[in-house]
Amino acid sequence: MDVLVTGGAGFIGSHITHRLVSLGHRVTVIDNESTGLRSNVPAEVRYIRGDVTNPDDLDKAFEERPDAVIHIAGQVSIIRAFSNPVGDLRTNVEGTVNVLQQCVERGVKRLLYASSMSAYGNAETVPTPEDTPCSPVSYYGVTKYAGERYVHLTAARPDLPGGLAVTSFRMYNVYGPRQAVDNPYQGVLGIFLGNIIRGEPIRIYGDGKQTRDFVFIDDVVDAWVGALDNPASHGKIFNLGSGRQTSISELADLALGALGRTRADHPVLYHPERPGEQRSVQADVAYAGSVLGWTPRTRLEQGLAETVRWALRENGRENGQDSSEDSGQANGMAERAVA
């Protein structure tokens, strides 16, 4: 298939792009490089540096009329959404509408959309199934849910010749290699690992008892790619999580242990809770299992070990350290994380 991946140079998008290429698909990537890196994208991919909020950039991306669109591009920070709600709205809603408009005009038949568990807000039911009413408590959650509704309402339009088959994935806390360890607004595990590697305090906002559901990137990619040409997924919304709760304090301890540290030799500081934070988060993944045959395979400890190996290799290269020495250090710490 010819597949367009928006945000394909970022953390999740680049992993999906690599998998698609490995399976023989022809891929175009558009990314504004606000958080993504061109170096994350395979050389054989057609690459456009552009923004989904810019119709001219999307014209270039869609000019070869893809068979399918994987729409990952988005503003992903809850805190930045509060400090710049207009920017959040433009990227996550206007950008999604622009992508949909291109699909309609070009006759694209397939779209997969990156939604978010933040759409649920503080759900009464935990683990949370997909039929739970959505009541987001953050601006970010509002925009991701709005984008999701635009996607499914567009697919329901009776005036589209041939129709548009859509699938949305409400992703939980995705982590793994290529997740930024130097971006204080993106991915709590990456933030914690970066803090430890640089010798900075870990900062927890709230009492640390709030929980998240951490799902490994390879498992997430399995679901996206598996649904691409699967008619059973058409028109449906799926949770992508591990089905396990982990408190933020527990995560801090796991990250410290993976890097050979403890709270006795590395500070963990607690600060007042920030707006838009969900309290208890855990995915019910039974629906994805029954429809897609998908189950998360990677335990947090296993995925954390792999992420630590990657983070230490990357940090070693940035600091000019010997790669073989750094690789040995990474493997030793990763083995301790699994143990």
CA distance 178 to 10: 8
pLDDT band per the 50, 70, 90 thresholds, residue 136: very high
Q: What rounded mean pLDDT belongs to the chain?
A: 93
Is residue 292 assigned to a domain? no
Question: Model confidence over 283-315: pLDDT tens digits?
Answer: 999 999 999 999 999 999 999 999 999 999 887
CA distance 134 to 119: 6
Residues 96 and 197 in one domain: no
Catalytic residue among 47, 113, 120, 140: 140
Question: Model confidence over 32-76: pLDDT tens digits?
Answer: 999 999 999 999 999 999 999 999 999 999 999 999 999 999 998
SS3 199: coil
Of 90, 64, 93, 75, which Cα lies nearest the Cα of 4? Answer: 64
Is residue 231 assigned to a domain? yes
In terms of residue numbers, what domain contains 262?
Answer: 188-211+244-279+298-338
Residues 202 and 167 in one domain: no
Q: What is the model's pLDDT at position 314? A: 83
CA distance 215 to 230: 22
Backbone angles phi, psi at 166, to 5 degrees: -125, 155
Q: What is the mean pLDDT of residues 221-249?
A: 98
For 144, counting Cβ atoms within 10 Å of its Cβ (0-12 exposed, 13-18 middle, 19+ buried), the class is: buried
Residue 326 pLDDT exceeds 50: no
CA distance 8 to 15: 8
The CATH number of the domain holding residue 27 is 3.40.50.720
Beta bridge partners of 116: 171
Which are the contacts of 181, defined by CB distance < 8 A and separation ≥ 6?
Answer: 190, 191, 193, 194, 197, 311, 314, 315
- Catalytic (active site) residue 205: no
Rounded CA Rg of the chain: 20
Name the percent of the chain lying above pLDDT 90: 88
Residues 162 and 303 in one domain: no
Residues 228 and 263 in one domain: no
Q: What is the mean pLDDT of residues 11-18?
A: 98
Residues 125 and 201 in one domain: no
Q: Which is it for strands 211-212 and 246-247: parallel, antiparallel or unpaired?
A: antiparallel
254: DSSP letter: H
Is residue 182 assigned to a domain? no
Total-model pTM: 0.92
For 159, counting Cβ atoms within 10 Å of its Cβ (0-12 exposed, 13-18 middle, 19+ buried), the class is: exposed
pLDDT band per the 50, 70, 90 thresholds, residue 338: very low
The CATH number of the domain holding residue 272 is 3.90.25.10
Of 38, 31, 145, which Cα lies nearest the Cα of 88? Answer: 145
CA distance 103 to 241: 28
Of 77-81, 86-90, 218-222, 233-237, minimum mean pLDDT range: 77-81
Torsion of CA 270, 276, 277, 278, to 10 degrees: 160
Is residue 289 assigned to a domain? no
CA distance 122 to 281: 8
CA distance 292 to 236: 11
Q: What is the model's pLDDT at position 37? A: 95
Is residue 286 assigned to a domain? no
Of 45, 154, 38, which Cα lies nearest the Cα of 99? Answer: 154
Is residue 284 assigned to a domain? no
Q: What is the mean pLDDT of residues 236-265?
A: 98
Number of domains in the chain: 2
pLDDT band per the 50, 70, 90 thresholds, residue 161: confident
Residues 145 and 263 in one domain: no
Question: Model confidence over 172-228: pLDDT tens digits?
Answer: 999 999 999 988 778 999 999 999 999 999 999 999 999 999 999 999 999 999 999
Q: What crossing angle do the helices spanning 323-338 and 248-258 adopt, rounded to 10°? A: 130
Q: What is the model's pLDDT at position 333? A: 45
Name the percent of the chain lying above pLDDT 70: 93
